[in-house]
Amino acid sequence: MSYNSFGHLFRFTTWGESHGPAIGAVVDGCPPGLALNEADIQPFLDARRPGQSKFTTQRQEPDQVRILSGVFEGKTTGTPISLMIDNVDQRSKDYSEVAQAYRPGHADYAYDAKYGFRDYRGGGRSSARETASRVAAGAVARLVIPEVTILAWVSAIGGDAIDMAHFDAAEIGRNPFFCPDAAAAARWEKLVDEARLAGSSLGAVVECVATGVPAGWGAPLYAKLDAELAHAMMGINAVKGVEIGDGFAAASLTGEGNADPMRPGGEGEGPEFLANHAGGIAGGISTGQPVVVRVAFKPTSSILTPMPTVTREGEATELRTKGRHDPCVGIRGVPVVEAMMALVLADQKLLHRGQCG
């Protein structure tokens, strides 16, 4: 039992609070001999980094990662890889209000109820800032699974979904929304800006696909690939739903409508599937098809509209969120979802190799 660790053989532990001196991750169980330096990690942190457009929080964090152990002469040694990211922009603001009253929708009350006490500065441990550690660890995980390509994008914001007929992977990097549909990106620009100016916030859906996962990763019954993915994704801040393949839509289908028939594949290959309702996983084990996950992010609870709440002493009050916040926290969730996908797959690859050699 580790409250702040994830994974089995490829396992990482994160630490750090929003307003402490630094955050970090310790990656344990990484195979030896992989070429690794900070430049392998930094681009993923840069993608997640706040303050890059007006559509994300204006907190300025360079998020420069340092590797403190586990690498020698440019290669992983098989020993723990300690990754550290300094916190730079902990703006010295007045937290007395948040210290005294519970922000609705945030973890303030729950933390106090659990620990009798909390680091209220910027959300403390429950801050989305912790996800930088996941992204750094995820970059290491990617090195373990070079056969896999992971791609995530935002598929809907505030209920406005992309049109898959217009899907263009190249578009994802061209707009501040990780949006693969140029027309949707244009609409979202207006939508998110309105929310931002109104001090409101919007929910979003992120979709992630991993191609190149061979058949056979995952394990019955309590280390199922889909169960591990659900755990990984639901543990991301602000996530309220996870789907594999068709997800909830499958609950409305018939067996015929949900079928994934097969036919012989190419020479030396597994079967070719004629559909992928299952999202690449059957019985908790990968089938060789693309692994498809969809994740629902709620709108951040940090809004300007005053909301009734209570103080630590249980008295009624009102609170409106000042400070810097993401109008749509799902947008910056894209690199985090990708990282968690990589972390789960790297772990499952090693587990499979361990048991089935």
Cα dihedral 299/302/307/311 (nearest 10): 130
Out of 110, 164, 169, 197, the residue judged to bind a second copy by CB under 8 A: 110
Q: How far is the CB of 225 from a second copy (least distance, A)?
A: 9
DSSP output for 51-108: SSSTTS--------EEE-SSEETTEE-SS-EEEEEE---------HHHHHBPPTTSSH
Query: What are the structure tokens assigned to 175, written together?
Result: 């707009």
Spatial separation of the C-alpha atoms in residues 139 and 162, rounded to whole Å: 27
Instruction: Identify which range of 44-52, 55-63, 164-172, 215-223 contacts a second copy by CB under 8 A.
Output: 215-223
Q: Does 104 bind a second copy (CB under 8 A)?
A: yes
User: What DSSP state is assigned to residue 338?
Assistant: H
Q: Does 231 bind a second copy (CB under 8 A)?
A: yes
Q: Is 302 annotated as a binding residue?
A: yes
Stretch 72-91 residues interacting with a second copy (CB under 8 A): 72, 75, 77-82
Choice between 47 and 275, CB closer to a second copy: 275
Q: How far is the CB of 248 from a second copy (least distance, A)?
A: 4
Q: Does 215 bind a second copy (CB under 8 A)?
A: yes
Nearest one of 89, 108, 100, 97 to 49, comparing CA atoms: 89
Instruction: Identify which range of 11-19, 35-43, 49-57, 166-174 contacts a second copy by CB under 8 A.
Output: 11-19
Out of 124, 138, 180, 335, the residue judged to bind a second copy by CB under 8 A: 124
Q: Does 28 bind a second copy (CB under 8 A)?
A: yes
Q: Does 203 bind a second copy (CB under 8 A)?
A: yes
Spatial separation of the C-alpha atoms in residues 153 and 175, rounded to whole Å: 11
Is-contact 135 12, C-beta < 8 A? Answer: no
Stretch 279-298 residues interacting with a second copy (CB under 8 A): 279, 281-288, 296-298
Q: Does 241 bind a second copy (CB under 8 A)?
A: yes
Cα dihedral 342/169/237/281 (nearest 10): -50
Neighbours of 235 (CB within 10 A): 12
Q: Does 159 bind a second copy (CB under 8 A)?
A: yes
Q: Does 323 bind a second copy (CB under 8 A)?
A: no
Out of 43, 173, 265, 323, the residue judged to bind a second copy by CB under 8 A: 265
Residue with tokens 């620009």: 189
Q: Does 186 bind a second copy (CB under 8 A)?
A: no
Q: Which residue ranges make up the annotated binding site for NADP(+)?
A: 48, 54
